[in-house]
Amino acid sequence: MKMIVFLFLISLVVVSGCVSQDTVESGDYVTVDYTGRYENGSVFDTSIEQVAVDSGLYNPARNYEPMSIVVGDGKRIEGFDEAIIGMAVGEEKSVTIPPEKAYGNYSPDRVFSIPSEEFINANITPEVGLKVPTMLGTCTVTTVTEGNVTLDCNHQLAGETLVFTIQVISIGE
């Protein structure tokens, strides 16, 4: 009888160790599908190919597939990770993320002008929209005049309230 009880308890431990957890916790490896929208509803990013096609964002060089992440590792915006915590496999939700938990507020201090000759000396033709690596990160040329080039080093989504639709595909796989 003791042997049967012992085997039963061992089998419970083994089976419970094989069952995946119910909800996402910080530190979990999870796979999610997502669509990011501006407050006006227009899509700026997605992991879902059909959404990319429908919104006019489709890029044939990109792989549209669920994103695998470690929750809370600091590699995404804070609000996205916070939204995933507590979700279950198959659950889908929409969450609104303010700038403070996304890419921060827009900062005029991160916009500055430099002499256009600095571009010329580096054999770069400055033009509006050009992305330029700097010590502040990647900056975008916003205006070009005869003597100056204006760079904006804010993230392109700085100051934006973002709306994400997120679906958890798997936890810990």
Compute the distance between CA of residue 125 and CA of residue 39 in angstroms, rounded to an integer.
35
Give me the residues paired with residue 143 across strands: 150
Q: Domains of the chain by range and CATH?
A: 22-104+158-171 (3.10.50.40), 108-152 (2.40.10.330)
Compute the distance between CA of residue 101 and CA of residue 164 in angstroms, rounded to an integer.
13
Nearest alpha-carbon partner for 168 in 101, 98, 80, 103: 80
φ, ψ of residue 45 to 5 degrees: the values are: -165, 150
How would you class 139 by CB atoms within 10 Å of its CB: exposed for 0-12, middle for 13-18, buried for 19 or more? buried
pLDDT of residue 173: 64
pLDDT of residue 21: 62
> Would the CA dihedral through 106, 132, 79, 64 be positive or negative?
positive
DSSP state letter for 88: B
Taking 70 as the pLDDT cut, the residues of the chain under it are: 1-21, 173
Q: By the 8 A CB rule, do 50 and 65 touch?
A: no
pLDDT of residue 18: 46
φ, ψ of residue 167 to 5 degrees: the values are: -130, 130
Compute the distance between CA of residue 129 and CA of residue 110 in angstroms, rounded to an integer.
16
Between the two ends of the chain, the Cα-to-Cα distance in Å is: 38
Q: By the 8 A CB rule, do 92 and 165 touch?
A: yes
